Structure 1
Amino acid sequence: MNILQISQLTCGYSTENVLQNLDLAMTQNEILCLLGASGCGKTTFLKSIAGLQDISQGKILFNEQNLAGLPVEQRQIGVIFQDYALFPHLTVKENIAFGLQKKKAAEKTEIIEKMTALVRLTGLLERYPHELSGGQQQRVAIARALACKPRLLLLDEPFSNIDSQVRYQMIDEIKDILKSQQIPAIFVTHSKEEAFAFADKLAIMDKGKIVQVGDADLLYQMPINKFVAEFLGNVNYLTCRITSDRSFNSVIGEYTFTQPLTFSNGKSISVGQNVHWLVRPQSFQIHLDEQGSGIISKKRFLGPYFQYDVNIGDECFMVQSPKNFPLDAQVRLNYKCTAPVLFDI
């Protein structure tokens, strides 16, 4: 069952709409990522859900309650900003307790102790924000947000200020906290690596619109268009000619499939039409072959794998493999594919 249902959401600043007719739904205990380039409307979307940005049309339903016009403090939505927004003159304990003024002293103490243990801040309650590391400041912001028992947590670029060496540790910790507390969350990032590690589901945004929503692996393997394909990782486009409703010819061979061929967006393809076939660099199989049509023109060692530029005729393809092949080697490329991702040229 959907706990959040957004339909035809439009909002912006002055006369310019930043978001245009957005539809989105999420289920209980789900972590959803709004992923897109800077300026695409992610933060504006987050603010509209929190009540920090007026909407000009559309509905935001949370547990079937329309949030339109509902004051921020009545939405029971927690927000963690990119800079954490901690009060520098307050201690860790006072920051966590900031939203608990109406609680009795005993209850307030109990909540602070619970949150402190949950985010592993025991022993740091009397410190000030400037005395904490970036990861510790983030934990304070999370504890403060969770202390008010939000129905939904919103996180705006939550990992951007965290050192890369501990970033994925923090991702795992926060994800475990959210799951254990059964709190759904929406977070904003421009980093696909963070999105893959943290989210249950991705919503790819571009120019104020949601382009595609789904599980990360599905979007990576079956992007709806070239924008999504390229945003989520390196790509190769092989120019192919459709030879029947189930087959095409490419520079690496003739391929026949069990199902009729269609474009990734569902549109039909005609026999004789030229199309682009998406192949990720790591999906190629590369073999030394004196009769092969490919030549390795560039070679880069990238730690867990080598990255090669392989020229076949006038086309150049990026190939990733753990195998170490010599520069200028003659090679053959293969790709075992059961469901090709095809785009119009």
Structure 2
Amino acid sequence: MELTLERIGKQVGAQTHLYPLDLTLVPRAVTVLLGATQAGKTSLMRLMAGLDTPTQGRVLADGRDVTGLPVRERNVSMVYQQFINYPSMTVADNIASPLKLRGEKGIAERVQELAKRLHIEPFLKRLPAELSGGQQQRVALARALAKKAPLMLLDEPLVNLDYKLREELRDELSQLFAAGESTVVYATTEPTEALLLGGYTAVMDAGELLQYGPTAEVFHRPQSIRVARAFSDPPMNLVEGTHASIGISLQAGVNLSVPLPASSTPALTIGIRASALRVRQRDGDIALSGKVELAEISGSDTFVHVDTPIGELVAQLTGVHQFTLGEAVTLYLNAAQVHVFDSAGKLLVAPHREGI
């Protein structure tokens, strides 16, 4: 399905849930709606599904205006944060329910196939209440996949699962979506999840659509500081600078040799991803001496907060590193790895990457 939103907006009383936006989803691909809580992701998905009617604008499905068409008259499947299954039906019957409604043949074989793909074969005769949270969400996903709807909407489906289950299901979902024929819309607050799912990403903030495009392109070339903040975990380091003859001048006499457009504003904001900072020097790096304010180990990475002459910076270091509070440490940065934004917050320069 090619889903097109034309100047879609949603207002409830005096409160604006969605500002007018245009969006055409790439058919048979995954589009991630990325943004913080109350960014407008669920409001937008409800309009896509037909659960709500927009205050303005149109929803087109394969060129047909379906703006006023209710959800029961649309071929859409949905998966929510909660584990929504029919409690009195077995797992097998839950998965089979959309197939039975359409009177399809080969239902048992299709149920077995989906149960195998989602690793819930041993539970087909059980009731949902007898399953763990992760297993129940797999049942809900299997039922949505069974429907073979041209549009599949998933509203933060993994948010209520523990870390290990989220990791497992993310990998499985990527494979399932790649093999399917549905146009998939997947809402999440986590930039890492968007990167893992790939496809396309629409970044939202406070009811506005900020940027839409291939996920890697949006991540590496955020069009504004707002996009960069939303699509960074941990948040992108932002420091103030000025346009100088040598490129960019920062505090304490730190200079970055970065070619800038002639139209650059005098005041600039420099964006430094935490992963671009190192504790080992490479050729062409500049050194930023400072003191450790905080060090956190998360999974296989260490996040160290360092007070430097240009401000507090967070570095993401691969592996487990031990730091003590107040310890002297030097961070290293290559000027070619910074993002530069003008005084209005618009992107001027991004690190060069082949193919992007």
Alignment of 1:265-284 (within 5 A): 268-270=263-265, 273-284=266-277
Q: CA deviation at 1:236?
A: 2.1
- Which residue does 1:212 correspond to in 2? 211
Shift of 1:239: 2.3
What is the letter of the counterpart of residue 112 of structure 2? E
Query: Does the C-alpha gap of structure 1 residues 125 and 24 become closer, same or farther in structure 2, counting only changes over 3 Å?
Result: same
Matched, 1:315 2:311: yes
Give the direction of change, closer, same or farther, for the CA distance of 1:307–1:113 in structure 2 (3 Å limit): closer
| Structure 2 residue matching 1:219: 3-state secondary structure | helix
Mark the CA change 1:103 to 1:113 in structure 2 (over 3 Å): closer, same or farther: farther
CA RMSD of aligned residues (A): 2.9
In structure 2, relative to structure 1, the CA distance for the partners of 1:286 and 1:126 (3 Å cut) is: closer
What is the percentage of aligned positions where both structures have the same residue?
Answer: 26
Cα deviation 1:198-234 (Å, max 9, x = unaligned): 2422211112111122333333333233332223232
CA offset at residue 45 of structure 1? 0.9
Between the aligned partners of 2:110 and 2:280, the Cα distance in structure 1 is 61
Residue type of the partner of 1:173?
E
Deviation at 1:247, TM superposition (A): 1.8
Assess if the C-alpha contact under 8 Å between 1:226 and 1:343 holds in 2: no
Q: 1:238 aligns to what? A: 239
Matches within 5 A, 1:141-290: 141-231=140-230, 232-233=232-233, 234-244=235-245, 247-251=247-251, 253-258=254-259, 260=261, 268-270=263-265, 273-286=266-279
Structure 2, gaps ≥5 residues long = 345-356
TM-score of the aligned structures, taking structure 1 as reference length: 0.84
Report the Cα distance in structure 1 between the residues aligned to 2:237 and 2:214, rounded to whole angstroms: 22
Secondary structure of 1:237's aligned partner: strand
CA–CA distance in structure 2, aligned partners of residues 216 and 313 of structure 1: 34
Q: Distance in 1 between matches of 2:7 and 2:336?
A: 37
Report if aligned partners of 1:225, 1:343 keep a CA contact under 8 Å in 2: no
Alpha-carbon distance change, 97 to 314 in structure 1, aligned in 2, over 3 angstroms: closer
Deviation of 1:88 after TM superposition, in Å, equals: 0.8
Equivalences, count = 333
1:296–1:308: 8 Å Cα contact kept in structure 2? no
CA separation of 1:11 and 1:334: change in aligned 2, threshold 3 A: closer
1:173, CA displacement in angstroms? Answer: 0.9
Q: How far off is 1:99 after superposition?
A: 2.5
User: What is the alpha-carbon distance in structure 2 between the residues aligned to residue 334 and residue 26 of structure 1?
Assistant: 37
Give the distance between the partners of 2:309 and 2:260, measured in 1 at CA.
30
Task: Give the superposition deviation at 1:339.
Answer: 6.5
Quick check: 1:297–1:311 contact (8 Å CA) kept in 2? Answer: yes
Measured against aligned partners, the alpha-carbon deviations of 1:224-276 in whole angstroms (never above 9, x if no partner) come to: 333322232322223222124x8222247433345526xxxxxx424xx2322
- Any stretches of 5+ residues in structure 1 without a counterpart? 262-267
Aligned residue for 1:295? 290
1:300 shift after superposition? 1.6
Contact 1:222 1:341 in 2 (8 A): no
